[in-house]
Homo-oligomer: A and B are copies of this chain.
Amino acid sequence: MRALTVSLGSRSYPVLVGRGLLNSPEALAEFLPGRQVLIVTNEVVAPLWLRHVRRSLDGLEVASVVLPDGEETKTLETLADVFDALAEHGFHRDCTVLALGGGVVGDLAGFAAACWHRGVACVQAPTTLLAQVDAAIGGKTAVNVTAGKNLVGAFHQPLCVLADISTLSTLGEREFRAGLGEVIKYGVGLDAGLFEWLEETLPALLERDPATLEETVYWCCALKSRIVVRDERESEGGQRALLNLGHSFAHAIESATGYGGWLHGEAVAAGLVMASRLAVDLGTLDGADAGRIEALIAAAGLPVAPPPVGSGLLREYMHRDKKIIAGRLRLVLPLGIGRSALRDDVPAPLLDACLAAADPR
């Protein structure tokens, strides 16, 4: 097991990465402020992991809510269901909400914890690769409203993050590979050493070798933690924006295909390739490095081009994105492998050439 601390003063918390954490009463119960625990999970994860967690919490006052799977669960209505469960069991200010699942469960349960009695403890137990390396760390919680994703939420740091590598063994192949999209993003945008490690160990990763996974997840958690510590609340022009490498393209792809068509990590993978090509055109990345990025993404079985939805549609969605300030589109672009920066001066013709990859041939 490996551990790191997200250092945020009185809101500091540990991130544990290892095998069998959900079966460990010590790991699970050590951090709880009180005896009441509401486990929030979904119908896919519950049959696989809920009884393990309940057994580890034996002796405490434990209740659970099992939500439907999928992004469409992340609504105010489902949030009200979680509040009802907390109320029904008489859960107080010193209760803990334990999020057992992927990003949707983590976002929703985390937001419920942020609001119940104006803030109770939350433990994030992410069970997908994507949530382990990204969503579970950093305190961003939210639900979707009709007008858009994650428009309603809170910054609410968890009490601890338990990334149990064992849960990755039960993940579907497509979802696992999509998680690699975010993993590769960390390498491209923040750490050349990680990128090289991924080039070397990709076969072991794809076979889900536990030791390789543990090292990789820990590495990404450390990178995410470093950014969160410097920019807890995603300030204007802050470090946290760098985590959005490839994401402006990805969000447009997800919107254009209707959420559910492409997985988030798949869209991020294609977005990384698009950002790389744009960076080559801008002269911030050399062609050989762009080739390595594309090759790694292809080897991970992830898309290297956007779907043929048309460049016009992608452009439209990119301009609706909330990352536009004063009419200028802002994009995170790689400066070589392992470094990235926010640019708001991309010439329109270069962006057009990049988006043309989405035009049907």
Name the residue in A84, A114, A155 with the highest tally of chain B Cβ atoms < 10 Å from its Cβ.
A114
Chain A, range 182-239, C-beta contacts under 8 Å to B: 233
Task: State whether the Cβ of A348 lies closer than 8 Å to any Cβ in chain B.
Answer: no
Residue in B92, B116, B117, B145 whose CB lies within 8 Å of A80 = B145
Q: Is the CB of A153 within 8 A of B115?
A: yes
Compute how far the CA of A87 lies from the CA of B320 in the bound complex, rounded to whole angstroms: 13
B114 adjacent to A154 (CB under 8 Å): yes
- Copies of this chain: 2
Count of chain A residues with a beta carbon within 8 Å of a chain B beta carbon: 29
Chain A residues 74 to 120 lying within 8 A of chain B, measured CB to CB, are 76, 79-80, 83-84, 87-88, 92-93, 114-119
Residue contact A117 to B151, C-beta cutoff 8 Å = yes
- Contact of A93 with B322 in the complex, beta carbons under 8 Å: yes
Instruction: Give Cα A83–Cα B142 distance, bound, in whole angstroms.
Output: 13
Interface 1/0s, chain A 130-146, versus B by CB < 8 A?
00000000001110011
CB within 8 A of A92: which of B79, B87, B322? Answer: B322
Say which residue of B115, B116, B151 sits within 8 Å of A87 (CB atoms): B151
Given contacts A84-B146, A146-B87, A322-B92, contact A119 B155 (CB under 8 A): yes
**A288 within 8 Å of B (CB atoms):** no
Query: Does A3 touch B at the CB level, under 8 Å?
Result: no
Flag whether A147 is at the interface (Cβ < 8 A): yes
Within 8 A of B (CB), among A151-202: 151-155
Shortest distance from the beta carbon of A316 to any chain B beta carbon, whole Å? 15
